[in-house]
Structure formats: structure tokens, C-alpha cells
Structure 1
Amino acid sequence: MKFPRLFGRGRTNKALAAYQRELVDTHYREVENMYRQMRVWRHDYRNHIQTLKVLAADGNMDAIRKYLDGLDTELRELDTPIKSGNAMADAILNSKVSLAKARGIDVRVDARIPIRLRISELDLCCVLGNLFDNAIEANAPLPESDRMIRVYMDMKGTQLYISFTNAAPAVKKRKVGGLFRTTKRGGGHGFGLVSVDRIVEDAGGYLSRNSESGAFTTEILLPQG
């Protein structure tokens, strides 16, 4: 894919740097919130044990079952099922999955990152975060029954293959100046898409976007380090 030049290089670099700082701050808050919930649960662990001991001493099996059901629900909500092999990518993916599910989106992620990539972990997280944010946003106007995001990441030869597919309004998107327009308020191309393009380009990777009626797919190939 040939990447279009939308702005002057110096101006674009400054704008993207500011955008990426804001993006990282947002991702950090999302991940920190997830781990804060986990720390709270661990802190309460002793209290849970004590409560169960009291209920057991009273022989109140119904109350014990109800209490355990509540704990099981909490644990499932705090679980981090995505284990790709890259800790930072897992943190971003798990936080975004949690965010998407909270918005009624059916999300399925199958991710493996068994190699060290040419791009930094920060850039990888910017790519994944942007793709997930765009996918979540595209689902927003749809009925909850139609919302979906599918993510697949694994090796294809010596490169990491990344695929994001999301449901979208049943109107095929059109390219403007070589790029699909963002749906964000204010129009324009959006620094999120520009940032992803720049990171992939600088890494010597490949990027393809495809818009079909009702679905939007982004495919990326990233070389190993």
C-alpha cells in the first residue's frame, strides 16, 4: 500500500506526537482501571474467606452458594483471557475488549505474538488501540444485535499478520485522497488512521483496508525485529 502524504512532514510529526501522547494516556487510564479492580478484589480476598467461614459455621449452604456465585461473576469480569505472548499488547487488548463488551458489542479475539517486532511495543499498542477504537466507534450506530468485532493475530511466514473486522452501517465507505474518511465528528481523516499508516510504513510493513456493505476490515503485516 502506498501511504498518502496529507500534511507537511514536520507539521504531521508534531501533531502525531501530541496525538500519540494523548492516546497513550487514555490507554494507561483504561489499563490502570482494570488493574485497580483486580487489586481491590485481592484486598477483599481475606474478607471473602472470613464471610464464607462464618456461613459454613452456621451451616447456611444456600447463602454460601449465593456468595460463591457472586464471587464467580466478579472473577469472570476481571479475568484477562487474552494471552498473546506480549504483555503490553495483552493489556491494551483486554482493556479494549472490556470496553467493547460494555457497549454491547460481540467481541472475539484470537491473538498470538510469538516474535519480537521491528516496531516498538509503544507503537504496537498505538496500532492496536487505534484499530480497536475505530471498530468500537463504527459499531455505535448499529442495533446491539448487529454489533461485532473480530480480531486475529498470528504469524504469516516471517511476519506478524493482524486482522480487524467490524460491523459497520450498511453503506460502503469511499476513499478520499487514498484514505477512508473517519466517522469522528469534525470529519477529516483523523490522526488515528494517519498514525497507524505512519507506524506501518516506517516499519516496512503492509496495510490494506477493505470496506464492504455492513463490514470493514483492516489487514496489516509487520516484519519481525
Structure 2
Amino acid sequence: MSAWIWPLAWTYSLGLLDIFLEYRFLKNMFGAKYRFAFVWLYLGSILYGHLNQTFVLAGTTLENFIYLSLCGLVLNMLLFHGNTVKKIFFTIWMYCAPELAFCAIFPLLHAAAVINGAGYCSDAALDFAGFAARLAQYLMMEILLRRIHLLRRDFSERDAFYLMYIILFIYAAVIMILDIFTGIGEWKEGTLLPTAVCCSLIAAAGTGLHLFCVIMLERRLLERLAQQQYEMLSRHLENSGEQYDQMIKMRHDMKNHGLCLAQLLEDGKAEEALHYLTELDIRMEGGEALVRTGSVYADALLNPKYRQARKLGIDISIRMSVPGEEQIRAADLCCILANALDNAVEACQRGIRAGAPAGWIRMRSQMHPNYWVLEIRNSIHEPVPVEHGKIRSSKRLHFTRRPVYGVGLQNIREAVERYEGVMEVESGTEFSLNIMLPV
């Protein structure tokens, strides 16, 4: 009885370890949606594996790739956060990684079996190759987990599709070479082993390129983040320079302003003096930071937008405190605030163009011990269509008549999901956007 119990226990133990390490990687990469996501991932993997064995749903290498990738993607979509393109990328990556590592080992084992007269690899040799391939995958996942603070950010779809193409090309080329190698029945003396070594080296190089694709993705993401921070810093320095210049000019002119006011009052022209003071107050307000959040990046972003809204006649009020950079990246914070305020100002402008009053905007945020809450409300000229938590934009694609969804809100939602936060949109007599981020 023990003759079959121990192999079965060994197989299920390896399967459990395999699923656990994949779950650990996916949880750190995306964030689990449910408390017992590991249990559901394990049961789902067993289910689609047994279905394949029972009904032979995937017989060929291509069918097996499509079947396992689709089943894995469905589980990842159900159990983990993150956008669809990101999940597709890492699902394909996680399937191809062990396959390429297996192809780097198998030709040598196959050549050894043929040289020894067996003609094919033993089950023990295949198990060894499979185990070694899994170890290579775990090593690659461990390397990537050390870079998780960057890879958790959403990368561009263009980069993802470009690297997916490279990964699939490498996988298809290596599998084709392996099929040609194993399909040859007769070998000339002295050619089998060198050919096997070449095939293994090609597969090993493909495995290295496989890992390099994800590292390149991280580098592209790092470059993009650095560019965003550079642009924000440039805007901040530009705004600070303008405010400083205005302050110097006003201090220089203060003596003359005082003399002018004194002369007006001495001449009994109180009304003219009051008007002069009003004009002077407007000029002073233009050089003052009217919004102070505690973040130089948020202040540099919000103050020009605040002044723009005031010039349009919008009744705007901003009272905010924001998380520090150790809790939320400046680029993500500014993405949320800029898009939210731009959408509110644009809604008020639509009312102005339609002949309605300028409208109002209320922007509030507060820090709590474990989370940050942001609320922005604004008046709307007409109800905004909301579908499945998304707003249908009034703009249309230039080549179709199909409406598109607001890009600003999509950017906000992606930033919120990166921190596993919650975002709610409501539209009635007024529009409101509520965000809660764990910090």
C-alpha cells in the first residue's frame, strides 16, 4: 500500500507548494480580493487540472498552453486586484517560465537516454526536469518580489503588449526547436549530444530573456515615474519662482502704496482709497499660496487650478490634509487630485457655456490613523450618466459614434486600485467623488 501512497503524497505536496508560491507572488503583485483566496486558487487549479485529465480538453502543446493560460487568467481575474492587461501579462509569464526552464534541461536527459539505448526518458528523469524547472520559476519570482514596490504600479499597455509578444515568440521558438529535436529518430554518430547542448543553451537563453523582459518592464516604469516626478518638480519650481518674484515686487512697491493711500485719505477721498485697497488685496492674493495641504507637490498643483477656478467665477473651497510621500507617491497623489479637480472645473465650465451660473466646488480630505479620505463635490448643469461606477464622457471617438468613458476618472481609479483603496462616484443634483485609501 505504501508503494503508491508515498508517490501520491509527494505529488500533492509539490502541487500544494507550487500553488502556494504562485499565490504568494500574485498576492504581492496584485493584492488578494478575498481572505481565503489561496484556498480558492488551490481548488480551482485542481479542478481545471482534473477536467483536463478526465476529458482530454488539451492534447497538443498549443492546446495545453491555451487551456492552462485561460484557466489561470480566469482564476487571477476572480481572486486578485489589478487591471486586465497586467493580469494577462503575468499569467502568460508564469506559464511560460517553467516551460522554458524544462526545455533547457530535457534535451540533455533525452540525449543521455538515447545514447544509453533507452530511446526515451524515464519517468524519474522527467520528474527531475519538471522539479528543476519549477525551482527556476521560483527563483525568478523571488527576484521579482524584491522589486515589488515598483512592479505593483500599473505599467502602460503598450509596454505590456510589446513584452508579451517577445515572451510568446521566445516560447514558441523554443518549443518548436524541442519538437524538431525529439522528432528525429536517427542520429549520426557524434551529433546527438552537441545538438542537445545547443538546444539546451537556446532554451536557457530564452529563460534569461524571459526574466529580462520583466526587468525591462520595471526599468521602463522607473523611467516613466522619474519623468513624472521631474515634471511635477519643474512645475513646483516655476510656480514658486513666480510667487517669489511677485512678493519681491510687492515689497518694493509697498512704500509707494502707503504714500498713495495716505494722500487719498488726506484729500478726503475715502471711496477711492477703499477701491485702491481692494485692488491691492487682489494683487496680494495672486502671489499668496491659498491652498496649503502639507505637501509641496499638492500645493504647487492645486494653487494654480484654484486661481483658475476663481477667475472663472466658480465658488471654490479647498480644505485638505494629504498623506506623506512614504505613504503615497507624489505622482499618484497628484494624479488623483489633478484629475478630480480638472473634472470638477470642466463640469462648472459646461454650465457657464450653457448660460448657467458659474457653480461651486467643495474639496475636502482628512487623515485617519489607517486611511485617508478624499471627497470632492461640485455643481452640475445636467445629470451625468454613470454606468457601472464609470462616467460616460460627452466626447466621442473620432472614428466612431460610440461614447467613451472619462479618461480622468479612469486614471484616478487605476491609482486608487494600486493602493487597494475604494472609489465611489455619485451623480444627481450634484456630482460627488469619494475616495478612501489605506495608508
Q: TM-score range by the shorter chain?
A: 0.7 to 0.9
CA shift, 1:170, in A, is 2.6
Distance 1:54 1:209, change over 3 A: closer
Q: What runs of 5+ residues in structure 1 fail to find an aligned partner?
A: none
Q: Residue 118 of structure 1 contacts residue 222 of structure 1 at CA under 8 Å; is this kept in 2?
A: no
Q: How far has the Cα of 1:120 moved from its partner?
A: 0.1
| Equivalence for 1:8 | 85
Give the conservation status (yes or no) of the 8 Å contact 1:160–1:221.
yes
Would you say the 8 A contact 2:313–2:358 is kept in 1?
Answer: no
Query: Which residue in 2 is equivalent to 1:182?
Result: 393
Task: Say whether residues 1:84 and 2:297 are aligned partners.
Answer: no
Deviation of 1:81 (Å): 2.3
**Paired AA for residue 383 in structure 2:** V
Higher strand share: 1
2:374 aligned with 1:162: yes
Q: In structure 2, the residue corresponding to 1:76 is in which secondary structure?
A: helix
Hey, what does 2:360 align to over in structure 1? 148
Whole-angstrom distance in 1 between the partners of 2:351 and 2:368: 33
State the 1:37 CA deviation: 3.6
The aligned counterpart of 1:218 is 433
- CA 1:164 to 1:215, structure 2 compared with 1: closer, same or farther past 3 Å? same
Instruction: Sort the Cα spacing of 1:131 and 1:78 in 2 relative to 1 into closer, same or farther, 3 A.
Output: same
Which of 283, 304, 309 in structure 2 is aligned with 1:100?
Answer: 309
Partner of 2:284: 75
> How many Å apart are 1:43 and its aligned residue?
3.6
Partner of residue 42 from structure 1, selected from 247, 250, 265:
247
Following superposition, the deviation at residue 114 of structure 1 comes to 5.9
Q: Give the letter aligned to residue 180 of structure 1.
A: I
Match of 1:195 among 411, 414, 423: 411
Aligned to 2:346: 137
How far the C-alpha of 1:130 sits from its partner, in A, is: 0.4
Query: Residues 54 and 196 of structure 1: is their aligned pair in 2 closer, same or farther, counting only changes over 3 Å?
Result: closer
State the Cα distance separating 1:25 from its structure 2 match: 5.0
TM-score by length of 1: 0.76
Query: How many Å separate the matches in 1 of 2:338 and 2:392?
Result: 18
Bigger drift between 38-47 and 145-154 goes to 38-47
Q: Which runs of 5+ in 2 are unaligned?
A: 1-32, 34-79, 90-153, 159-220, 398-402
Cα deviation, residue 118, structure 1: 3.0
Query: Which SS does the other structure have where 1:140 is aligned?
Result: helix
Distance change >3 Å, CA 150–CA 87, structure 1 → 2: same
**Which of 182, 186, 206 pairs up with 2:422?**
206
User: How far off is 1:166 after superposition?
Assistant: 1.1
- TM-score (norm: length of structure 2): 0.42
Taking the aligned partners of 2:371 and 2:317, their CA distance within structure 1 comes to 22
Q: Give the secondary structure class of the aligned counterpart of 2:155.
A: helix
Deviation at 1:101, TM superposition (A): 1.3
Q: 1:50 to 1:211 in 2, by over 3 A?
A: closer
Shift of residue 98, structure 1, vs aligned partner: 1.0
| Structure 1 residues 222 and 115: CA distance shift in structure 2, 3 A | same
Measured after TM superposition, the shift of residue 162 of structure 1 is 0.2
Does the 8 Å contact 1:165/1:216 carry over to 2?
A: yes
Structure 1 residues 86 and 146: alpha-carbon distance in aligned structure 2, compared to 1, 3 A threshold: same
Q: Secondary structure at the match of 2:420?
A: coil
Q: Cα deviation per residue 1:101-149 (whole Å; 9 max; x = unaligned)?
A: 1222110111123655632011101110000011111111214535111
Contact 1:24 1:126 in 2 (8 A): no
For 1:150 and 1:54, locate their aligned partners in 2 and report how far apart those are by CA, in whole Å: 40
Separation of aligned partners in 1, 2:230 and 2:413 = 17
Amino acid at match of 2:424: S
Distance change (3 Å), C-alpha of 1:165 and 1:24: farther
For these two proteins, the number of residue pairs brought into alignment is 216
- Greater helix proportion: 2
Aligned partners of 2:297, 2:281: CA distance in 1, in Å?
A: 26
Supply the distance in 1 between the matched residues of 2:315 and 2:85 (Cα, whole angstroms): 39
